[in-house]
Structure 1
Amino acid sequence: MLEALEVFGAGVAVKELGSGAYVQASPALDRLFERSESTLVGSHDGELMRPDEVHAMRRVELQAMQQRGAVLSEHRLDVGGRRREFSVARVPLDERHLLCAWLERTQEKQREVHLQRALAQIEQLQQEVEALRRDAQRGSGRDELTGLQHLGPFNEQLQREIDLSTREHREFSLVLVALDQLENVSDAQRQRLVEALGRLLRANTRAMDAASRVADNVFAVLLSGVGLATAHSRMEQLRRQCSQQIVPYEGSDLGMSVSLGVASFPHSSGSHDALLEAAQAALRHSQRRGGNQVSLASIPLGG
Structure 2
Amino acid sequence: MSTLPLQDADTLKPSPLLARLWAMAGERQGGHVVVKDAASGRILEADAALARVLRPDGQPLVGGLDADWCDAGMVVALRAADQAALARDGVLASEHRIETAGTRRDFLVLRLAGRQGGHAVLASIWIDLTPQRRQEQQLRQALDQIEQLQRANESLRLELKDQGLRDAASGLYTRSHFEEQLRREVDLSTREHREFALVFVAVDPLSGPGAALGEAARVRVLEALGRLLRGNTRAMDASCRYDEDRFAVLLSGVGLATAHSRMEGLRRQCATQIVVHDGQELGFTTSMGVASFPHTAHTQDDLVSASEAALAEARRRGGNHVTLAAIRFEP
How far did 1:285 drift?
A: 0.5
For 1:163-202, list aligned pairs within 5 A: 163-182=187-206, 184=211, 186-202=214-230
Residue of 274, 278, 300 corresponding to 2:302: 274
For 1:26-105, list aligned pairs within 5 A: none
Structure-2 residue corresponding to 1:157: 181
Given that 2:206 and 2:284 are in contact with CA atoms closer than 8 Å, whether structure 1 keeps it comes out as: no
Letter of the aligned partner of 2:169 in structure 1? L
Q: Distance between the aligned counterparts of 1:232 and 1:139, measured in 2?
A: 33
Query: Which runs of 5 or more residues in structure 2 are unaligned?
Result: 1-157
Structure-2 residue corresponding to 1:295: 323
Structure-1 residue corresponding to 2:32: none
Given that 2:259 and 2:290 are in contact with CA atoms closer than 8 Å, whether structure 1 keeps it comes out as: yes
For 1:181-260, list aligned pairs within 5 A: 181-182=205-206, 184=211, 186-260=214-288
Structure-2 residue corresponding to 1:285: 313
How far did 1:139 drift?
A: 4.3
How far did 1:251 drift?
A: 1.1
Q: Distance between the aligned counterparts of 2:159 and 2:201, measured in 1?
A: 23
How far did 1:138 drift?
A: 4.9
For 1:3-42, list aligned pairs within 5 A: none
Q: Distance between the aligned counterparts of 1:283 and 1:182, measured in 2?
A: 17
Which of 1 and 2 has greater Rg?
2
Q: Distance between the aligned counterparts of 1:146 and 1:282, measured in 2?
A: 23
Tell me: CA distance 1:137–1:259, structure 2 relative to 1, closer, same or farther (3 Å): farther
Q: Distance between the aligned counterparts of 2:316 and 2:292, measured in 1?
A: 21
Given that 2:175 and 2:243 are in contact with CA atoms closer than 8 Å, whether structure 1 keeps it comes out as: no
Q: Distance between the aligned counterparts of 1:216 and 1:287, measured in 2?
A: 16
Structure-1 residue corresponding to 2:105: none
Structure-2 residue corresponding to 1:142: 166
Structure-2 residue corresponding to 1:264: 292
Q: Distance between the aligned counterparts of 2:321 and 2:235, measured in 1?
A: 26
Given that 1:194 and 1:217 are in contact with CA atoms closer than 8 Å, whether structure 2 keeps it comes out as: no
TM-score (norm 2): 0.49
Secondary structure at the counterpart of residue 254 of structure 1: strand
Query: Which runs of 5 or more residues in structure 1 are unaligned?
Result: 1-135
Tell me: CA distance 1:279–1:160, structure 2 relative to 1, closer, same or farther (3 Å): same
CA RMSD of aligned residues (A): 1.6
Given that 1:138 and 1:144 are in contact with CA atoms closer than 8 Å, whether structure 2 keeps it comes out as: no
Tell me: CA distance 1:231–1:193, structure 2 relative to 1, closer, same or farther (3 Å): same
**Deviation sequence 1:167-196 (CA, Å, 0-9, x none):** 111000000000001473511111001000
Letter of the aligned partner of 1:144 in structure 2? A
Structure-2 residue corresponding to 1:21: none
Q: Distance between the aligned counterparts of 2:250 and 2:226, measured in 1?
A: 14
Q: Distance between the aligned counterparts of 1:194 and 1:139, measured in 2?
A: 22
Secondary structure at the counterpart of residue 194 of structure 2: coil
Secondary structure at the counterpart of residue 174 of structure 1: strand
Runs of 4+ in 1 over 4 A off after TM superposition: 136-139
Letter of the aligned partner of 2:297 in structure 1? S
Secondary structure at the counterpart of residue 328 of structure 2: coil
**Deviation sequence 1:75-112 (CA, Å, 0-9, x none):** xxxxxxxxxxxxxxxxxxxxxxxxxxxxxxxxxxxxxx
Structure-1 residue corresponding to 2:120: none
Letter of the aligned partner of 1:158 in structure 2? L
**Deviation sequence 1:187-239 (CA, Å, 0-9, x none):** 11110010000000000110000000011121000000000000000000000
Letter of the aligned partner of 1:298 in structure 2? A
Letter of the aligned partner of 1:235 in structure 2? M
Letter of the aligned partner of 2:312 in structure 1? R
Q: Distance between the aligned counterparts of 1:181 and 1:137, measured in 2?
A: 34
Given that 2:201 and 2:288 are in contact with CA atoms closer than 8 Å, whether structure 1 keeps it comes out as: yes
Structure-1 residue corresponding to 2:12: none
**Deviation sequence 1:217-266 (CA, Å, 0-9, x none):** 21000000000000000000000000010111111211010000000000
Q: Distance between the aligned counterparts of 1:156 and 1:268, measured in 2?
A: 21
Q: Distance between the aligned counterparts of 1:164 and 1:139, measured in 2?
A: 25
Q: Distance between the aligned counterparts of 1:181 and 1:188, measured in 2?
A: 14
